[in-house]
Copies of this chain bind each other. A is one copy, B any other.
Amino acid sequence: MKNRVITISREFGSGGRTIGRQTAERLGIPCYDSELIDKIAEKSGFAKEYIAEKGEYSAKGGWFASAFSDRTFNGTSNQDYLWIVQRDIILELAQKESCVIVGRCADYLLKDVADCLTVFVHADIQKRAERIVKRYGETSQTPEKRLKDKDKRRSTYYRFYTDRDWGAVQNYHLAMDSGVLGIEKCVEIITGAAKRS
């Protein structure tokens, strides 16, 4: 039987990472989030900060910048190389064990190869703004501006590498508003749904 893999895609500040971690705990399986970055760093040689940024976000400037920045003479970029390394690691993990994977287009990468439950977590901008200020503190940018920038670059990255729309309801088995439902209820729903088969 295939391993059961839960992928959590999330809007920045929606608590998706916390939901992923608690779901994994509840199910007694590992959660790959920062652990994924460690693995990618080890295999690729890139710095962890670089991976955290470039493995999920388009370059500032949108699709055009993402498509053409850092290209070498043979047409690949550092970001493409990183994409390949993280794709291979995600595929290996799904092959090895049941787990939760947060972000990094895992929903797309695993859709045809694993027994996946794909989840999208979102919340309205006010709720997310409160959360990021509490978690990461204030910066010179307003929290709303930070969120919009992050969402846009995450969505552009996803679009560029998967040719699908990030957050389109059809791409996910479950989508939930963590701002309304609360973290605990989201964990409960995903845990219940994952036990299905």
How big is the A interface, by class?
20 to 34
Q: Find out whether the CB atom of B167 lies under 8 angstroms from the CB atom of A182.
A: no
Copies of this chain, complex-wide, total 2
For chain A, residues 160 to 187, give those with C-beta under 8 angstroms from any C-beta of chain B.
167-170, 172-177, 180-182, 185
Docked-complex contact A181 and B173, CB < 8 angstroms: yes
Cα distance A173–B176 in the bound complex, in angstroms: 5
Of the candidate stretches A86-94, A139-147, A188-196, the one touching chain B is A188-196
Partner of A169, one of B168, B188, B189, B196: B168
- Shortest distance between the CB of A166 and any CB in chain B (Å): 10
- Give bound CA distance, A193 to B188, whole Å: 9
CB nearest to A168 among chain B residues? B169
On whether the beta carbons of A174 and B177 are closer than 8 Å, the reply is yes
- In angstroms, Cα B174 to Cα A182, docked, is 12
A122 vs chain B, min Cβ distance (A) = 6
Do A189 and B180 have beta carbons less than 8 Å apart? no
Say if the beta carbon of A12 comes within 8 Å of chain B.
no
Chain B residue contacts of A177, Cβ below 8 A: 170, 172-174
Whether A172 touches B175, Cβ cut-off 8 Å, given contacts A181-B193, A193-B185, is: yes
Q: Is A32 an interface residue (CB 8 A)?
A: no
- Nearest to A185 among chain B residues (CB) is B196
Determine the residue in chain B with the shortest Cβ distance to A170: B122
Supply 15 further A-B pairs (C-beta < 8 A) apart from A169-B172, A172-B177: A122-B169, A122-B170, A167-B170, A168-B169, A169-B175, A173-B176, A173-B180, A173-B181, A174-B175, A174-B181, A181-B196, A182-B196, A185-B193, A189-B192, A192-B192
Which residues does A use to contact B, with CB under 8 Å?
Answer: 120, 122, 124, 167-170, 172-177, 180-182, 185, 188-189, 192-193, 196
27 A–B pairs (Cβ distance < 8 Å), ordered by A: A120-B169, A120-B175, A122-B169, A167-B169, A167-B170, A168-B169, A169-B169, A169-B172, A169-B175, A170-B177, A172-B175, A172-B177, A173-B176, A173-B181, A174-B174, A174-B175, A174-B177, A175-B175, A181-B193, A181-B196, A182-B196, A185-B192, A185-B193, A185-B196, A188-B192, A189-B193, A192-B192
